[in-house]
A and B are shown apart, each in its own frame.
Chain A
């Protein structure tokens, strides 16, 4: 697996996170943004009386997809082809990029307009197109900001969450053709982006999109968005190329209803998103005349084989887990080194690439297992359970392995455990004198406990263990 894939961490999470934590502005921006959006989500979710049964149904539908992936893919392909689409199968990122690049070349297009898509970010499509001499133009406002800044997104839903408006104005002035505005009012900035994008839409011959859902029954693709840029891309160009992860399937059209209710409330905290586009094949004389659908595997069928980890493939990319995650709130998206940040990224990226890729093995440890992510997940992905599962199946340091098995050996026998407690107590006796100055806790402990006392005082073994107290008070007669 290539190390430069956008889902491979090139820095260990603890190192990257410590670096991001140093940015006070970033922390303030993130704290404010995530708090606002999680309050909003909680309010609109509380309005829905059947939210819990709806989560159960959605999880069951997604599991049905994973159980019958090959069959549903074949059904989807047959229906899409019958409606006039061309379907391609991409095994990995390089394969998908080659297919898309070839399709763009065939249209002799020098640029393509893009709808925000996690799948194309996952495979690094923009970079591949640029290498082939094609300019990809992101049309989602936040995604455009990130692209103009030569940056990477830091949030699934709000990719430019880490920028404020004066930074954005400065960026537009430098990088956006024809930009003249002097104010950093959000409406002015959005207006300037709208004018720029409108010229771009009208000139585009090819558009590239992803899909939120793919309906096996009808061969339809579904795109949910809020700016209308997606609808422009879906209707104006002659050629439309959709890159769709195979897990995006839903078996039946009727399954869509629950998901269209779950997704916007979980992601933007809105009751409904402004634009939902459902499109099936091509219609002569109306809209794109060529529709190519690239079904992307890139590790997914492998993940679907793992009885515990597969639940990660239920994900509908709503980002609710990011917004409630205390680790994400402090470290930000870039610390995860992946287009999939936050709790879902911590389980999805290492599974898609294998835990040996880059520093993806550090991602399952980027959580306290507090469980807030599981509570809000609209498709009930038990993220803490999968984090623990990945810790158990992934590579581990030899010293830690040895310490853990020694500790377990001591704890499995009551005599050994009692001796260990007494040894800890007498060994720490000199420290008790030092600790007394701080109300009984230790301010600076020797290695390896120094890692603990770098941030907090350490407790000392009790003068009398519980079991010794019990023996003294309840067993001496």
Chain B
């Protein structure tokens, strides 16, 4: 199977660890991963902010960059949802690839920490990831998964919403951070670094609150010092 990584523009620039973890994990599971260098952004940001024409150009570019690959994997639920709705690409979120395509639920990871999981709006409603990420996390050695209160509530990011409606976004973020802190977890994991950048930015201002982490990084971890 020819698996290609769509790392996403945000991960490429700000959170390469999520892409590195995805590659490391898949290679550990015995797969070869390709990284088509012509990729950049899926067009989601442009489309959702109201710019259909540049969004379409980026969608076409992404289609061309990934032509010929059997499976495209991405550590970003919202970008996968966008690709699915706007391109003909066979795009999978990481947990979908692992559980549905590769049939793996125990990836052989070790992460001895208390973790809570935020399901993210696109993971919940656009992709219906359901308990796939939680199933993968529960199989991680040493990991204690703690329920997040009101998990289905949006964190308030919403792309440019966080800037255009800063006050409401801030109020939603405050509630999400309070719920995360209430778990007593060391880490707050999610499948999307856009949400994590927002929530993590809030958590950074609460001493003792969980630290944000992409769940791919947990799945890639073998407990060995890096």
**Chain A interfacial positions (CB closer than 8 Å to B):** 13-14, 17-18, 21, 27, 326-327, 330-331, 364-372, 374-375, 388, 391-392, 394, 396, 400-401, 404-405, 407-408, 411-412, 414, 417, 421, 424, 438-439, 441, 443, 451-462, 464-467, 469-470, 474
CA distance A394 to B50 in the complex (A): 8
Q: Does B187 contact A (CB under 8 A)?
A: no
User: Separation in Å of the A219 CB from the closest CB of chain B?
Assistant: 40
Nearest residue (CB) in B for A417 is: B40
Contact B49 A467 (CB under 8 A): no
Contact B16 A388 (CB under 8 A): no
Residues of B within 8 A of A331 (CB): 168
Stretch at the interface among B54-62, B97-105, B136-144, B218-226: B54-62
Contact A464 B16 (CB under 8 A): yes
Contact of A421 among B12, B158, B172 (CB under 8 A): B12
Contact B13 A396 (CB under 8 A): no
Contact B50 A391 (CB under 8 A): yes
Contact A330 B201 (CB under 8 A): no
Q: Tell me whether A371 and B126 are in contact in the complex, defined as CB-CB below 8 angstroms, given that A388-B50, A455-B173, A457-B200 are known contacts.
A: yes
Would you list which residues of chain B between 5 and 54 have a CB under 8 Å from chain A?
Answer: 7, 9, 11-17, 19-20, 23, 35, 37-38, 40-41, 45-52, 54
Q: Tell me whether A404 and B168 are in contact in the complex, defined as CB-CB below 8 angstroms, given that A438-B204, A459-B14 are known contacts.
A: no
CA distance A443 to B162 in the complex (A): 16
CA distance A451 to B41 in the complex (A): 23
Contact of A372 among B51, B52, B152, B166 (CB under 8 A): B152
Contact A326 B172 (CB under 8 A): yes
CA distance A391 to B46 in the complex (A): 10
Chain A interface, >50% SS class: helix
Contact B161 A396 (CB under 8 A): no
19 contacts between A and B (CB under 8 A): A14-B166, A18-B168, A21-B168, A326-B153, A330-B168, A370-B125, A372-B125, A372-B152, A396-B51, A404-B49, A414-B40, A421-B12, A452-B162, A452-B163, A455-B166, A461-B13, A462-B13, A466-B19, A470-B23
Residues of B within 8 A of A412 (CB): 40, 57-58, 61
Contact A467 B35 (CB under 8 A): yes
Which of A370, A394, A453, A464 has most chain B Cβ within 10 Å?
Answer: A370
Contact of A388 among B13, B48, B58, B211 (CB under 8 A): B48
Q: A27-B171, A457-B201, A467-B37 provided; 6 other pairs, C-beta below 8 A?
A: A330-B172, A369-B121, A371-B122, A452-B201, A462-B14, A462-B16
User: Separation in Å of the B24 CB from the closest CB of chain A?
Assistant: 10
User: Separation in Å of the A386 CB from the closest CB of chain B?
Assistant: 12
Contact B51 A368 (CB under 8 A): no
Residues of B within 8 A of A467 (CB): 7, 12, 35, 37
